[in-house]
Structure 1
């Protein structure tokens, strides 16, 4: 008995020891990379000491004596907080995810290699100015010193690899990836090609935006508007989405002049709409070399310059222009697929072998083929019949790294326009304001000059449909100090119909821009609180338009049961605000979707119907075009002998809406709150592994949210995954030209990418409640509010 007791005690002791050791190992993995923000450290190649203040959210404010020291410290500080995210994004641009995540990423890697991001980055680097090269080299050195000397974040330990040295070209790669991520033609235009196998051209035409039905343009005329400030003042891939590597989706920006501002000086607002994941895409940072540069705002982890923000003279923010920047070409290849027919002769394809290494230790040799336009992409589109190549704006020469470098130093409208003139591959409407009282908006875009509509698959056998260059910067629209006293954009139609160049069909519907302008015009003068209310607005112009249509149609129906009648009453009494508590918001969102689904699904195979759910722009414009014309060939159900009307579609959709909400939330309509079915989770790329998620606390949520993709405050979801929010405002910024210290900001996550950090998602609750924190700028304010202070000293 005593022997058994000793054995049991020994086993128990061993288990306790194993648990204790396991706990220590786990704690080490979780916390070993947490930096001490108060620790003074030495860096090689610093010429002078650098002061690094961090505020209550650990946002770094870096003060250096020269620019090389500044960017070396920027690289070091960013590596402290976001090193694994930086390495992940770098691997995306290089097509090297398989090496750390396994062979499931092979197709993603091959696609990213096909678009040749680093090839273009190397060309840009080779032609960059010495001052930019010096900055990128110093920044890379700061990162590499951290990699060599300090503990790595937990993801490296979990995945069992070490990051390679950072190089200047990797910084430029991240700008290139932004260009790919906001490309408009890759998904929609190929889907239209697939659709032609099942649907007539007449029905397809109803899906394509009729821009005459998009009444609101960003720039009211392509004759550029410019007035001096003195006059007015006195009188901008599914695997990658899951990895949190998606960049742009939509955005809002606007600025008001002094005559519409409570301060008498301009106010500027920007919120770019991106994927909601952890860590977030933006890193908040303030960089200072006194007398040379003083800039604060958003930095993409992996490159050193502020993308959107303000310096001591100007502020700027961006929204996507939605340029149609990619075209498909049907190619004719010879028998062994080594040549393509072009302008009456066979030309050699450029054939490139790619070796893709995987985490499993396997190597795959794959072949990529290119015409003079770009890669053959059949493999990635699963197209088996017609050889297809693409021409993509991202492979055209541009220099976005120069743009952001110059923006950080710009002093006036002239400097600003010179800076954004090379912002071509990442096409943006860039809003502007300055301390002299000017406001402006500049379309900075690469707009291809091409024949045809821009959305068909072009014949590739001649040069007729090749791009003839890009629209010159001087011909792109802008506004400077317009008489109305404000400028604004929200991914809507860029210009009126008489603009001489085709920009795109794929603009956002006018819902957000119309609501923004409605609120900008509602008051004679606006303040920071008004701007907050606009950024946090959940009232929908789409709902305002469509609910009236639905109600009129449903009034013709009879025989509602008790639940249906209660739901109809909620809809009739609604004020079009998609709050978390609103039951009508739940009813409208599902009814709106089901009406679009029931218009199209009887004509489509299950595969194409599933594809259509991924093309929100086509479904929304089908509805817009239908309302404008009053009829649609899609309304009749081809599966029945009767001829159905839109009223029949609405009646069926309403019945399905009530059934779905009853099944999900019960038959008490008062329980159908929008927030109960509309939420988001801040998910880490490794959070898909349950044991890792629980051990390291990678994911956070779900959080109930208001709004929708058609509200100014956008909590957007995919029609393929109802109603899980996947996009939203990736930041909110409000800048005051009267006093920079009055500016405010928020991001949905936090400064740190290390899940054990107190600053991993410390801004999330404020973000959900539409709250902001000060965007500290003057040195005295920064020092007074500093929670941490680090000195980086020369070694």
Structure 2
């Protein structure tokens, strides 16, 4: 027995030793790909030396004697820190994820192949300006120089993920960078799914008048009522209420529901509204959270002057940032740049579709998708004059497409002459508001509100191609329409001068929170779908409360967590519930409701992570939306994952009879809106107590509203997720200026999944006092200390200096890389 015990101990000890050896060996292999920032390297493709100085936050400051060399250095720096992220984004744009991840990503690849944004990017290379083309080629050479160094020096394949997944890296090309801009347009698109949803809701509702309640227009001057979707398809049998359950959302998917499309804040102040006498500009673009963040901070020392700000790895431009003379920021414009068309097939030849001039053959080509550990799949891709044919299984198009028809989409992002990168290049070299607006003429997609400030002037201009529609368009671009009707087809695009612009407003302040900016009649209307009807009210108050602003007051506004929505809706929906009746016995549902109402009655609407009221309020609003719409919409109700404040306000103010939503259609009694509000609050409290107990006063909003900055590939791996995911308790909510958009689905619908991955505030009274931050860190390598070193600063609302002073960058540099031309 003693001998057996001795051998068991020896075996156990050996296993422990082997485990430690394995861990050490794995760490050694993974750490080989950690970049060395302090070195000298001879590389091909440089005309003169380049110096990359990384300051103490690991922000590269790139110096060279000519611009192409500087862009070479940026490509090298991006590849040092974010090579895996860049290659995965490129594979997404190309529709080649399945080569690495197998059939799980096949639905993504199928749809990306149908859009063929990579083919359009390849065609767009020739359309770039000479300066942009030179920069794209130099940038690609810099990326490829880093890949060559990894291969020649056996630097751990460049990223830890490369050991886990067999993902060979092909050379970077100019088209790859253009494709990543187009991929951003995919991520920001909301019009297409909204068109289909509007059509499906129209089919589901018995009363057409109620469509404007559940999918309301942004407040302001309205438009004529739309017809029922069935009226747009006369003589066809529509699959009413039919729907195909969408596949589970893969973390790598660029396709998001309209509720999670892009958003942002940007505002500027003229010298007359600045305490220090210089212009001010603030910008915080909102995208889905990932680890590492979408954004990467960099400074480029160009011949026209230094520029610093946020880049996207894979794209050689500062998309939001400043020079010494000009600052620029962007917000999603919500331009209606997508239209769904229903195409009629030739009953005698399904390879033809109907046009205004008769039947015409589809443009057809084959595409092969290679799949890891599976046989390849061959797709037949078809397109019409209006755009590519999409399958009925995507966006639930099958539910609005009659038999004998197919759906296509017209979209500006599919342009084969997309000069958006050239526009961004010209913007970096602009030194005045006028020059910045002129540079915006080359923007195509994604459409953005460009907010700019030089030392004396401020302006906002919508940049991006605006589709020109016929005034007789059947649905005004709001629902799918017959593609063979001439009036439903696009007639080119408007001239750039037609895009809305605001220059030096009399009040000295301008800004955008994705709110409705203009109220022009169709077809020059810009959009009927806007991303914000709420944050703009809080922004207006903060801007008007001060006669003059400072950098700190702009920071305060960026970090503001007071919900205008909560302040306006709670008195409305709870009007007949506050302090009514005697105190109920402890332990009863009535007493729990009274305690919740007492907390909300004393609450100022601040979505503070340490408070219980934001969770009670958010759960109540979510339950209320569900109670109001479930009986009318049926299964469609599940797609309305976020409470719409305008819908709830219309119902509780009984706008145009909207209170009809409060009556449960299937029940005998007629429920009032007070009944529904009380039942919804009870629903919310049941949900809360099942998860967190009945101690309402000890709830913390931040415990459920955690920022989910997860690695999109390794984030679900049981052991690795503790190393690669960055989870943080956060304040804010769906409708606060410090926006923390909730997921709306899953076991925790209040996870913070979408917000400001970048914040910047630029002060032109003292430009080097400007500040910025990203939500994770510069490195994409989870063993690097720079993987998450900015995360806590971002969570606490802190910033780092945004200085163009080279000596300040060198003073506490974490490394200096010298790139020298190879002999």
Q: Could you say which TM-score interval applies, normalised by the shorter chain? A: over 0.9
2:363 touches 2:383 (CA, 8 Å); kept in 1? yes
Match of 2:408? Answer: 389
- Distance (whole Å) between structure 1 residues aligned to residue 638 and residue 600 of structure 2: 28
- Distance (whole Å) between structure 1 residues aligned to residue 767 and residue 19 of structure 2: 53
Which of 510, 518, 521 is the aligned partner of 1:495? 518
Match of 2:427? Answer: 407
Match of 2:142? Answer: 142
| Residues 1:779 and 2:806 aligned together | yes
| Residues 1:292 and 2:334 aligned together | no
2:513 touches 2:532 (CA, 8 Å); kept in 1? no
SS of match in other structure, 2:661:
coil
Which of 320, 329, 332 is the aligned partner of 2:344? 332
Which of 682, 691, 699 is the aligned partner of 1:655? 682
Which residues of 2 match residues 186-265 of structure 1 at below 5 A? 186-200=192-206, 201-213=208-220, 242-243=251-252, 249-265=262-278
Match of 2:445? Answer: 425
1:378-410 Cα deviation digits (max 9, x unpaired): 242454453211111212344110111001100
2:652 touches 2:673 (CA, 8 Å); kept in 1? no
Match of 2:379? Answer: 366
- Distance (whole Å) between structure 1 residues aligned to residue 284 and residue 646 of structure 2: 24
> What is the deviation of 1:107?
1.3
> What is the deviation of 1:569?
0.8
SS of match in other structure, 1:242:
coil
- Distance (whole Å) between structure 2 residues aligned to residue 517 and residue 458 of structure 1: 38
| Residues 1:697 and 2:723 aligned together | yes
With over 3 angstroms needed to count, the CA separation of the structure-2 counterparts of 1:161 and 1:477, relative to structure 1, is closer
- Distance (whole Å) between structure 1 residues aligned to residue 788 and residue 616 of structure 2: 32
Instruction: Name the count of aligned residue pairs.
Output: 766
Which of 446, 452, 455 is the aligned partner of 2:478? 455
Which of 597, 612, 632 is the aligned partner of 1:583? 612
Q: Which deviates more, 89-98 or 582-591? A: 582-591
1:712-767 Cα deviation digits (max 9, x unpaired): 00111132231111101111100011222100011111100000000001101011
SS of match in other structure, 2:575:
helix
- Distance (whole Å) between structure 2 residues aligned to residue 272 and residue 246 of structure 1: 18
1:314-367 Cα deviation digits (max 9, x unpaired): 110000111122111121112452110112511001122111101114201122
2:565 touches 2:645 (CA, 8 Å); kept in 1? no
With over 3 angstroms needed to count, the CA separation of the structure-2 counterparts of 1:53 and 1:461, relative to structure 1, is same
Which of 581, 590, 598 is the aligned partner of 2:627? 598
- Distance (whole Å) between structure 1 residues aligned to residue 694 and residue 579 of structure 2: 23
SS of match in other structure, 1:640:
coil
> What is the deviation of 1:301?
0.7
With over 3 angstroms needed to count, the CA separation of the structure-2 counterparts of 1:730 and 1:367, relative to structure 1, is same
2:307 touches 2:428 (CA, 8 Å); kept in 1? yes
- Distance (whole Å) between structure 2 residues aligned to residue 352 and residue 627 of structure 1: 53
- Distance (whole Å) between structure 2 residues aligned to residue 210 and residue 746 of structure 1: 34
Which residues of 2 match residues 648-687 of structure 1 at below 5 A? 648-687=675-714
> What is the deviation of 1:438?
0.9
1:526-585 Cα deviation digits (max 9, x unpaired): 111111110110111111110110231314964753221111111111111111122221
- Distance (whole Å) between structure 1 residues aligned to residue 166 and residue 2 of structure 2: 45
2:108 touches 2:253 (CA, 8 Å); kept in 1? no
- Distance (whole Å) between structure 1 residues aligned to residue 368 and residue 253 of structure 2: 25
Which residues of 2 match residues 344-363 of structure 1 at below 5 A? 344-363=357-376
- Distance (whole Å) between structure 2 residues aligned to residue 394 and residue 15 of structure 1: 56
> What is the deviation of 1:54?
0.8
- Distance (whole Å) between structure 2 residues aligned to residue 55 and residue 788 of structure 1: 8
Name the TM-score, length of structure 1 as normaliser. 0.92
Which residues of 2 match residues 601-612 of structure 1 at below 5 A? 601-605=630-634, 607-612=635-640
Q: Which deviates more, 524-533 or 380-389? A: 380-389
Which residues of 2 match residues 125-136 of structure 1 at below 5 A? 125-136=125-136
SS of match in other structure, 1:332:
strand
With over 3 angstroms needed to count, the CA separation of the structure-2 counterparts of 1:550 and 1:496, relative to structure 1, is same
> What is the deviation of 1:624?
3.9
With over 3 angstroms needed to count, the CA separation of the structure-2 counterparts of 1:499 and 1:639, relative to structure 1, is closer
Q: Which deviates more, 715-724 or 95-104? A: 715-724
> What is the deviation of 1:140?
0.8
Match of 1:526? Answer: 549
- Distance (whole Å) between structure 1 residues aligned to residue 628 and residue 396 of structure 2: 27
Q: Which deviates more, 372-381 or 108-117? A: 372-381
Match of 1:505? Answer: 528
- Distance (whole Å) between structure 2 residues aligned to residue 21 and residue 737 of structure 1: 56
> What is the deviation of 1:293?
3.5
1:295 touches 1:306 (CA, 8 Å); kept in 2? yes
Which of 574, 599, 622 is the aligned partner of 2:603? 574
- Distance (whole Å) between structure 2 residues aligned to residue 382 and residue 432 of structure 1: 39
Which of 719, 726, 730 is the aligned partner of 2:753? 726
2:607 touches 2:731 (CA, 8 Å); kept in 1? yes
With over 3 angstroms needed to count, the CA separation of the structure-2 counterparts of 1:246 and 1:486, relative to structure 1, is farther
1:256 touches 1:486 (CA, 8 Å); kept in 2? yes
Q: Which deviates more, 239-248 or 254-263? A: 239-248
Which of 295, 311, 322 is the aligned partner of 1:282? 295
Match of 1:482? Answer: 505
> What is the deviation of 1:423?
1.4
> What is the deviation of 1:239?
6.9
2:40 touches 2:819 (CA, 8 Å); kept in 1? yes
With over 3 angstroms needed to count, the CA separation of the structure-2 counterparts of 1:240 and 1:121, relative to structure 1, is farther
With over 3 angstroms needed to count, the CA separation of the structure-2 counterparts of 1:601 and 1:791, relative to structure 1, is same
> What is the deviation of 1:629?
4.3
Match of 1:60? Answer: 60
Gaps of 5+ in 2: 223-245, 585-589
Gaps of 5+ in 1: 216-236
1:212 touches 1:497 (CA, 8 Å); kept in 2? no
> What is the deviation of 1:706?
1.3
Match of 2:237? Answer: none
- Distance (whole Å) between structure 1 residues aligned to residue 719 and residue 131 of structure 2: 43
- Distance (whole Å) between structure 2 residues aligned to residue 785 and residue 180 of structure 1: 39
1:551 touches 1:571 (CA, 8 Å); kept in 2? no
SS of match in other structure, 1:122:
helix
Match of 2:465? Answer: 446
- Distance (whole Å) between structure 1 residues aligned to residue 333 and residue 627 of structure 2: 31
> What is the deviation of 1:7?
6.2
Match of 1:155? Answer: 161
> What is the deviation of 1:627?
4.7
| Residues 1:307 and 2:302 aligned together | no
> What is the deviation of 1:14?
4.8
> What is the deviation of 1:147?
1.1
Name the TM-score, length of structure 2 as normaliser. 0.89
SS of match in other structure, 2:263:
strand
Q: Which deviates more, 676-685 or 86-95? A: 676-685
1:213 touches 1:628 (CA, 8 Å); kept in 2? no
SS of match in other structure, 2:450:
strand
- Distance (whole Å) between structure 1 residues aligned to residue 523 and residue 375 of structure 2: 53
1:148-178 Cα deviation digits (max 9, x unpaired): 2212201111102321111111010011111
1:732 touches 1:745 (CA, 8 Å); kept in 2? yes
| Residues 1:551 and 2:574 aligned together | yes
1:269 touches 1:733 (CA, 8 Å); kept in 2? yes
SS of match in other structure, 2:389:
coil
Match of 1:380? Answer: 394
2:775 touches 2:791 (CA, 8 Å); kept in 1? yes
SS of match in other structure, 1:782:
helix
